[in-house]
Chain A
Amino acid sequence: MTITSFFYFVYILLGAFIYYLIPLKYQWIELFILSIGFCYLSGNVFSIILPIISTVIAYSSTWLIQNLRINKLKKISDGFPAFIMFVALTVNIVVWFIFKCSGLWKYPLMLLAKRGCGLAERTVGVELISILGLGYYTFQLSGYIIDCYLQIVEPQNNPFKLFLFTTYFPQLTSGPISRYNDLKTMFSGRKFSYHNIAFGTQRILWGMTKKILLADRLSIIINSIVAEPDVYTGFYSWILIVVSPIYIYADFSGAMDIVLGSSEIFGIVLPENFNNPFFARTSQELWQRWHITLGAWAKNYILFPVLKSKTMLGWGRVLKKRLGKKLGKFVVNCMGMFCVWFMIGVWHGKIRYIVGVCLWYWVILMAEDLLAPISARIVNNFGIKSESVGWHVFQSLRTYLLFAIGAAVFNLGVFEGIRVLKDAARVIYKEGYANPWIFFDGSISKLGISYGDLNIIIICLSMMFVVAILRDRVGYARKWIEQQSTGFRWCIWISLFLLVLIWGKYGPGYIESEFIYEGF
């Protein structure tokens, strides 16, 4: 059962109907049952077993930590709770690493297998079961364990409630990665709210628009170009580079809209994962607006602990002495950010994500940070109006392009991504290589989409732009629409519904494309 399927919507609606009928204090039980059901229907029985194991580890470790502190067993050293936390985190992370990062640990085993190691050969051949949401709930639970250790949150005494926190079904497929404090209100129950139902449904509809109207069409373009690299060269590579970020954004944020909308129907607010990332003027700003919860998790549980560790503080003092305050601070920051981006790359599970994507963005962010004073001086000296719309657009486009380079590798893999980037570069420096006529002679329509599809893409992009502007100026578009007249509101929602109904990519004969981030 995917979250764009008809059965999922029936599941949500029936679930919500029962949810609001039962007493508030028992509503979390219904969410618990829905989550187990969702794990089974969308994954397999191991998608229930592994979260149980992870929850048991988290529950028992946090219980132990709390009790050690309460009992103040002086014979047990103060380091013991830290040790328990470390063991619990390690077990969860190792399980996650084995199942989700096989692209990383199988690679050295393959090298060993080639050298004749029988054990390596047998291990490489093992088929691993896909576990729904493993990447998301592992990080979520890890954050919970750390928060309990740091006494930011009180450990959950009810293991079933903790299991619900682990496997809360809307966020199992693509996140977001929530903190315990954000979600613990789900145990209190919610009264029926027509507003929640309406807003949640509207958001789901918007998510469907992005996914089955826009993202699935863009994937056709991307796949067509990638399928025939010798045919589609020159500006086709530029199309690939420019389209990739929009495709990833439409797919991922579409999933988020469906997830957050589903949760909103139950009155549970999940954290946002996107905030108009393409309006960002710098890469740093973009990463504060893109996959926000993963970035926040990495900042809270990797960056801050690394930077505040005794080792790093010691290095910091030494570097500041040797390189000066600014440069010393910059180097320390680099090291901390390297850990963050490396971890983010590992979380995505394949070498191409580490090397080609996350380390690329690390380099860009650090370069931006280093060059920021020079850039400011240039803007000042040339009298550039830094708050003008034109400059803002330039910055956003520049940021977009840098992001797009990484997105191309994210989508295509390291070697294919580099090939495409090289081909795109040839358009600039190699005389006669550019082929701009492809935009005018109907070649685009040979990429597996019709002119009707192109119109839909343009309409969707326009709608997304309007929604983004509204979000930037007045807040959520749905709130703005809510303030308009009834007729206008109904026109919008019915039109959007019709658009999805008629032009959506679904139905018999369609192989439902997975959400990109479902695999993590």
Chain B
Amino acid sequence: MRVFKQIAGFILFFAILGQVFSSTTYLFRRANDGRSRMVGIKNESKLDVVYIGGSSTFDFWQPLRAWNDCGFTSYCLAENAIKPECYKPLAELAEKYNDPQLYVICAYPFNFYSTAEQWIRGFTDSMDLTEKARYDLLNQHYRIRDVDDDTDILSYYIDILEYHENRDNLALEKAWEFLHNEGSSETKGFAWEPYYKYIDPPQRIITDDREDLPEGNLEVLRDFTEYLKMTGKEALFVAIPNVPSNGYRAQYNTIMDAVEEAGFTFLDLNDYYDEIGIDFTNDYYNDSHVNPIGAKKYTQFLENYIVDNYELPDHRDDPLYEDWNRKTEEFYTQEKKIIDTVEKLQDDYRFDNAIAEEIGRTENLAEWYEYVTKDRFTFLIAVNTVRQNPLQMTDRNVFDKIGLEQSIKDTIIIVSGGETVYRDSGRDLEYIEPNESLYSVSLKDGFIYAYGEEIPIDNMAVNVVVLDDERQIIVDKARLECDDNSRIVFNRGIEGY
């Protein structure tokens, strides 16, 4: 009896300890939308479509729009920087919780492999500690990939080792919602990205060439397609329409071969820009990801493709799916606000484009200064020793703001978005933009370099070059000099300018 009590007590104690351990782990993990998206799949019952991928999935596909337009349920099972070996474990998860009829697979991540280890955490650190798929993912990852020697592999398996210092989570309501690793995504995995950036349309590349995928990716892809075949489900592999995809056409062909060999369909949406109606100058916030305007177009195209090619049910009249209707209403309400935001950003962009034009034309120093201190612009000033110094002019307001004293010489000033990022004086001074060396100033060589252009420095003037950071072009290059009436003039028409 005593032994029985001891054993029972032992089991009960460790059951409680295990629960405490797992709850603590879940509490201390990241508490963000990505986690909601990943754990939310457990909250969904049966789904018709599960779309697996990375940010190229949750930025592109709008499940609630597809529901509203076509009546099938779908979910973005996706997180940032997905690695190819994540696909199969995610499909295992979907099989377990949702039993979908169709998998849509974003093929884009198979074209490259990032060694940044941390990104795998977006997946493994959202799954339950008892989830087999979690360990399958980690085991496969460490089996096929070389990792740095100083990678603490144990902290990927027991992630509380990584997160136990996230004590700020104790004060976060959202973190406590994840206490049992449960949650839901209001948008069924879709992420609002209320941003905009002008993207030049890519050059379309057509080729029949085949190119090898990064090491390990093809093996993983084949293993994944084998798994999908075993499940007996349908699968559609898509190449998203974005700029880098055009550089991967040969690799996509290799992917296509492997996918079609397994009996699935590969759809390269880079061949359908016109049909989708995608506009790179309007619908993106970087060269890889669409904003909500682009996501709408993408979803509308793909949902029709899916409906035309796969027999999926239409649940719109089914009262069991009332929750989807409610969420769709919220989705459209939210969409309106976000698209307003994006359109405002587009308007600001176009307005700033006009400003950029004006910068290169204005002769009014105060007006010029007001324009160049906007967020989007960087201006570079190089002052060598001057004889007829325009800095000695009576109207010093602007020069005072910039920090150009009357007696200044051998000086470089860099102002970006209105903030002075660099200011120094010294003979033969040089400055190189620290991030990507996009521009530099060399008093020693007597040149300003920017976006591949070389602009000579005049010793008799205040030399200014204005850059549009958004479009990475030069919008103004001028020498500020004195005219005979001691007024500042912008000298733009000389050699090199």
Q: Which residue of B lies closest to A505 (CB)?
A: B165
Sorted from nearest, which 3 A-B pairs have the closest CB atoms?
A: A508-B152, A507-B161, A508-B155
Q: Mark B463-495, 1 if CB is under 8 A from A, else 0.
A: 000000000000000000000000000000000
User: Is A437 part of the binding interface, using a Cβ–Cβ cutoff of 8 Å?
Assistant: no
Q: Are A486 and B17 in contact (CB under 8 A)?
A: no
Q: A507-B161, A507-B164 are in contact. Are A498 and B24 (CB under 8 A)?
A: yes
The verdict on A502 contacting chain B, using a C-beta distance below 8 Å, is: yes
Docked-complex contact B6 and A194, CB < 8 angstroms? yes
- Taken together as a complex, chains A and B put the C-alpha atoms of A502 and B161 apart, in Å, by 9
Stretch in B8-16, B60-68, B103-111, B454-462 touching the partner: B8-16
Q: Is the CB of A501 within 8 A of B162?
A: no
Q: Does B421 contact A (CB under 8 A)?
A: no
B154 within 8 A of partner (CB): yes
**A503–B158 CA distance with the chains assembled, in angstroms:** 16
Closest Cβ–Cβ distance, residue B347 to chain A (whole Å): 45
- Chain A nearest CB from B481 CB (Å) reads 52
Q: In this assembly, does B20 line the interface, its C-beta being within 8 Å of a C-beta of chain A?
A: yes
When C-beta atoms are compared, the residue in chain A nearest to B161 turns out to be A507
Q: A494 contacts the other chain (Cβ, under 8 Å)?
A: yes
The CA-CA distance from A490 to B13 in the complex, in Å, is 7
Known pairs A452-B167, A506-B161; A494 contacts B17 (CB<8 A): yes
Instruction: Say yes or no for A170: interface residue by CB 8 A criterion.
Output: no
| Residues of B close to A504: CB separation below 8 A | 164
Which residue on chain B has the smallest CB distance to residue A506? B161
Is A6 interfacial (CB-CB < 8 Å)?
A: yes
Distance (Å) between the CB of B372 and the closest chain A CB?
Answer: 41
The residue from A6, A501, A506, A508 contacting B21, defined by CB atoms under 8 A apart: A501
> Of B6, B28, B155, B162, which is within 8 A of A502 by CB?
B28
- Known: A490-B16, A494-B16, A494-B17. Is A501-B154 also a contact (CB below 8 A)? no
Are A497 and B10 touching (Cβ within 8 A)? no
Q: How far is the CB of A424 from chain B (nearest CB, A)?
A: 34
Interfacial chain B residues near A507, Cβ < 8 Å:
152, 155, 161-162, 164-165
Give the secondary structure class of A's interface: helix
Binding site for B on A (CB under 8 A): 6, 194, 452, 486, 490, 494, 497-498, 501-504, 506-508
B178 to chain A, nearest CB (A): 16
B160 within 8 A of A: yes
Which residues of chain A come closer than 8 Å to B162, judged between CB atoms? 507-508
Q: Which residues of B contact A490 (CB under 8 A)?
A: 13, 16
Which residues of chain A have C-beta atoms less than 8 A from B165's C-beta? 507
Closest CB of chain B to A486's CB: distance in Å? 7
- Whether A508 contacts B10 by the Cβ 8 Å rule is no
- Are the CB atoms of A508 and B161 closer together than 8 Å? yes
Cα–Cα, bound, A494→B165 (Å): 19
In the assembly, what is the distance between CA of A498 and CA of B28, in Å? Answer: 12
Please count how many residues in chain B sit with their CB below 8 Å of the partner chain's CB atoms: 20
Residues on B facing A (Cβ under 8 Å): 6, 9-10, 13, 16-17, 20-21, 24, 28, 152, 154-155, 158, 160-162, 164-165, 167
What residues of chain A lie closer than 8 Å to B154, measured between beta carbons?
Answer: 6
**A486 to B21 Cα, complex, angstroms:** 20
Contact call A501/B17, Cβ cutoff below 8 A: no
* Assembly CA distance A507 to B152 (angstroms): 8
A498 to B17, CA, bound (A): 9
Q: Which residue on A lies nearest to B151, using beta carbons?
A: A508
Distance between B284 CB and nearest chain A CB, rounded to angstroms: 36
- Least CB distance, B179 to chain A, in whole angstroms: 14
Complex CA gap A6/B164 in Å reads: 15
Task: Please tell me which one of the listed residues A194, A502, A508 contacts residue B24 in the complex, with CB atoms under 8 A apart.
Answer: A502
Task: Say how far A510's CB is from chain B's closest CB, in angstroms.
Answer: 9
Query: A residues within 8 A CB of B20?
Result: 494, 497-498
Instruction: Check B152 against A502 for contact (C-beta < 8 Å).
Output: no
Chain A: minimal CB distance from B441 (Å): 38
> Is the pair B167, A194 in contact by a Cβ cutoff of 8 Å?
no
**Extra 6 A-B pairs, beta carbons < 8 Å, given A486-B9, A490-B13:** A498-B20, A501-B24, A502-B28, A507-B155, A507-B161, A508-B155
Nearest Cβ on chain B to A201's Cβ, whole angstroms? 11
Q: Kindly state the separation between the CA atoms of A194 and B2 in the bound complex, as whole angstroms.
A: 11
Of the A-B pairs whose beta carbons lie under 8 Å apart in the complex, a sample of 18, sorted by A's number, is A6-B154, A194-B10, A486-B9, A494-B17, A497-B17, A498-B24, A501-B21, A501-B160, A502-B24, A502-B28, A502-B164, A502-B167, A506-B161, A507-B161, A507-B162, A507-B164, A508-B155, A508-B161
Q: Which residues of A contact B164 (CB under 8 A)?
A: 501-504, 506-507
- Separation in Å of the A211 CB from the closest CB of chain B? 16
**Hey, which chain A residues are within 8 Å of B9, CB to CB?**
486
A497 to B160, CA, bound (A): 13
> Once the chains are docked, how many angstroms separate the CA of A255 from the CA of B24?
26
A508 → chain B closest CB, angstroms: 4
Closest-by-CB residue of A relative to B3 is A194
Q: Give the chain B neighbours of A452 by CB distance below 8 A.
A: 167
Asked if A6 meets B158 with Cβ closer than 8 Å, knowing A194-B6, A501-B164, A502-B167, the reply is yes
Most chain B CB within a 10 A radius of its CB, from A490, A498, A507: A507
Q: Cβ of A194: which chain B residues have Cβ within 8 Å of it?
A: 6, 10
Report Cα–Cα, A370/B17, bound state, in Å.
55
B243 to chain A, nearest CB (A): 35
B contact residues around A508 at 8 Å (CB)? 152, 155, 161-162
Q: Give, as a whole number of angstroms, the nearest-CB distance from B33 to chain A.
A: 24
| Bound-complex Cα distance A507 to B154 (A) | 9
Q: How far is the CB of B348 from chain A (nearest CB, A)?
A: 41
Q: Smallest CB–CB gap between B264 and chain A, Å?
A: 39
CB distance from A260 to the nearest CB of B (A): 22
Q: How far is the CA of A508 from the CA of B164 in the complex (A)?
A: 10
